[in-house]
Amino acid sequence: MSTKHFFPSTEGVVVLGLESLVARNKHLALDAPNKVIYSKTHHPSKVTVISGGGSGHEPAWSGYVGDGMLAAAVNGEVFASPSTKQVMAAISHVPSDAGIILCITNYTGDNLHFGLAREKAAGMGHHVAILRMTDDVALGRKQTENTGRRGLAANMYVLKLCGSAAEDGYDFEKCMKIGEAVNANAVTVGSSLDHCHIPGREHHRSVPDDTYVLGMGIHNEPGLHEKAPMPSVEEIVSDMLKYCLDPADKDRAFVEFNPDDVVCLLINNFGGISNFELEALTTVTRKVLEKDWKITPSRIHVSCFETSLNAPGWSISLLNVSGIERQTNTSIHTLLHLLDRDTKAPAWPRNGYKESQLPKKQAQTSSNNTTETTTEKSPKVDPTTIESALRAACTAAIKAEPDITKWDVQMGDGDCGEAVEGMCKGVLAKLDAGLCKSGALFPILDEVEAAVEEIGGTLGAIISIILASYTSQLRLAVAKEGPGLEVDVKRSGQAAGQALKNLMGYTSARQGGRTVMDALIPFCEGLEGEADLGRAVEAAEKGAESTRGMKATFGRAAYVGEQGAETQQDAPPDPGAMAAAIFLRGFLDGMGTKQ
């Protein structure tokens, strides 16, 4: 694998690539500041399908934007999830009266940032849902029980069939049902000769000569295992297909393949395999499928679909179309029509590049006006009380920054204290600017959430999601009962309880895993169950303190070995959980006797 590049670093390269894509495809437009590619021809009467993720996987995701696939794609930096702000920008460019589907690859950053965007968009009145794409079979059920399976190249089948259904005018529920069924009937396994190399960064460890890696991912993460000496190509393919098809492998038999099922094959180039070898690998795969598994693919797609920069690897994906038929009651004929349907997406094989007429401007204009103005509909709170509570909470958290940092240095990367301080200073700046003066609750909550989101990171995303979801629940209540709604502690508890449930849909972290959830879960559940803010804060503090000596099973601290702390019993409390508890105690104290 070459470590030489024409660009000495990745800085600025993402946008340069997107500019090239738009320059040669007249139906596409670029929002450069947000790194969003969107279709100028998407009609708001049709379901909007959006996807995205880190760059370095080109042509994913922007190469799949066009009628018949994606309405928009969001691009992060190399191997980094796009921010919530970027996802919201994509939603604003391709609004839909029928609904919006966010297709994500089930990595932590994507779950959190797209999840927060979903909460925000729902609060603005959009009908929006997340469709997680999880086709990897290299890592079995046991290894992925906490995080879920990775999304790999069979994602493309989800985007193609879901996007074609949207273009054909299918309603939101049917598009979601087809997309979920495609994901449930798709499997992928990858292998590689080496890791990729990112311009401007230190070289990742090399895979030894005469060795290949089975189960390689697309972010330089280690594979399932290395095999040496190199077996024959037929043996490699046979081994890969067993991970996809062997019903005796109970840890990985994710999809049932019956005799006579209609199956499609997708061969993906990780970016560093020559077409000379890739086509030959495809033929070997087809022959082994027929010989060992009596499967003759009805469709074969071969290309760079979802790469890993210049990694010298490839992957096999299989899609059981008959399984989708059984799950959705959609005929195989119809499903193959959706798969074969023409699309303007430039990266999909066999698509045409014809010019398209833009839809009537009037239709776009009417749908663009979707942002709900909530100030006049917002419940009122006492300005002095809410400002005092927020100031006290922020001050307490900032004061605790040295301790939070100390705890995080021992078990993490040491940035938690700085992040918490940044969030709180952002909130204080908004308070200084008169945020609470009107007493309108929704603008206050929106601005506090925005200050938290601005800092980024996993902790920021989790807090942002629960705040946005809490606000959305209150907005739904106001829409139902009117702006005179009283937001008392009981109503707050109900909203917090549902917000917690929504948050838990975006993260697998639970109480007992040594994360901020050890404070948030008892707080929200306590507030909902007892309608007593003081007792809920006590529950959060107790949950945070319980993380002392706790073994981490989620988050970055889960990767710290025995040398990360002298013993697990000596481990400090989780910094995120403690920060949340300290903030909540400060908020309660700042309110005085009011709840």
Task: For 435-474, write each residue's pLDDT tens digit.
Answer: 999 999 999 999 999 999 888 788 899 999 999 999 999 9
Q: Is 57 annotated as a binding residue?
A: yes
Q: Check residue 554 and give its pLDDT.
A: 62
340, 359, 392 - which closes a domain = 340
Mean pLDDT lowest among 148-152, 165-169, 325-329, 568-572: 568-572
Q: Which of 435, 400, 341 is nearest to 585 (CA)?
A: 400
What DSSP string runs through 197-229?
--TTSPPPPPPPTT-EEES--SSS---SEEESS
User: How many domains does the structure of the chain reveal?
Assistant: 2
Domain identity same for 393 and 458? yes
- Distance of alpha carbon 323 from alpha carbon 309, whole angstroms: 33
Q: Check residue 78 and give its pLDDT.
A: 92
Q: Is 54 annotated as a binding residue?
A: yes
Kindly report, residue by residue over 266-315, the tens digit of the pLDDT: 999 999 999 999 999 999 999 999 999 999 999 999 999 999 999 999 99
Domain identity same for 329 and 432? no
Q: Is 340 annotated as a binding residue?
A: no
Q: Check residue 595 and give its pLDDT.
A: 55
pLDDT at 91 exceeding the cut of 80: yes
Give the 3-state secondary structure of residue 4. coil
Give the 3-state secondary structure of residue 149. coil
Catalytic positions, written as ranges: 219
Q: Check residue 423 and give its pLDDT.
A: 95
Domain identity same for 377 and 298? no
- Distance of alpha carbon 380 from alpha carbon 400, whole angstroms: 31
Confidence label for 115 from pLDDT (cuts 50, 70 and 90): very high
Which residue is associated with the tokens 């979601």? 176
Confidence label for 107 from pLDDT (cuts 50, 70 and 90): confident
A 10 A CB-CB count for 467 gives 22
Express as a percent the part of the chain with pLDDT over 70: 91
Domain identity same for 256 and 183? yes
Q: Check residue 413 and give its pLDDT.
A: 64
pLDDT at 486 exceeding the cut of 70: yes
Q: Is 55 annotated as a binding residue?
A: yes
Domain identity same for 486 and 417? yes
What DSSP string runs through 477-526?
HHHHH-TT----HHHHHHHHHHHHHHHTTT----TTSSSTHHHHHHHHHH
Q: Check residue 246 and give its pLDDT.
A: 95
Work out whether strand 72-78 and strand 48-55 pair parallel, antiparallel, or are unpaired. parallel
Express as a percent the part of the chain with pLDDT over 90: 77
pLDDT at 63 exceeding the cut of 50: yes
CATH number at residue 402: 1.25.40.340
Q: Which of 552, 559, 542 is nearest to 574 (CA)?
A: 552
406 occurs within a structural domain: yes
Q: Check residue 351 and give its pLDDT.
A: 44
Asked if 115 and 130 touch (Cβ cutoff 8 Å), the reply is: yes
Mutual orientation of helices 517-530 and 489-503 as an angle, nearest 10°? Answer: 140
Domain region containing 461 = 373-591
Q: Check residue 374 and give its pLDDT.
A: 38
182, with CB counted inside 10 A (0-12, 13-18, 19+), is: buried
Region of 592 please: left (phi>0), alpha (psi -120 to 50) or beta: left
340, 365, 398 - which closes a domain = 340
pLDDT at 363 exceeding the cut of 70: no
Kindly report, residue by residue over 124-183, the tens digit of the pLDDT: 999 999 999 999 999 888 888 888 888 999 999 999 999 999 999 999 999 999 999 999
Q: Check residue 353 and give its pLDDT.
A: 30
Domain identity same for 311 and 377? no
Q: Is 12 annotated as a binding residue?
A: no
pLDDT at 549 exceeding the cut of 50: yes
Whole-model pTM: value is 0.81
- Mean pLDDT, the chain, rounded, equals 90
Q: Check residue 306 and give its pLDDT.
A: 97
357 occurs within a structural domain: no
pLDDT at 566 exceeding the cut of 80: no
Domain identity same for 331 and 391? no
Kindly report, residue by residue over 66-90, the tens digit of the pLDDT: 999 999 999 999 999 999 999 999 9
Kindly report, residue by residue over 220-248, the tens digit of the pLDDT: 777 888 999 999 999 999 999 999 999 99
pLDDT at 578 exceeding the cut of 90: yes
Confidence label for 589 from pLDDT (cuts 50, 70 and 90): very high
pLDDT at 352 exceeding the cut of 50: no
CATH number at residue 145: 3.40.50.10440
296, 315, 340 - which closes a domain = 340
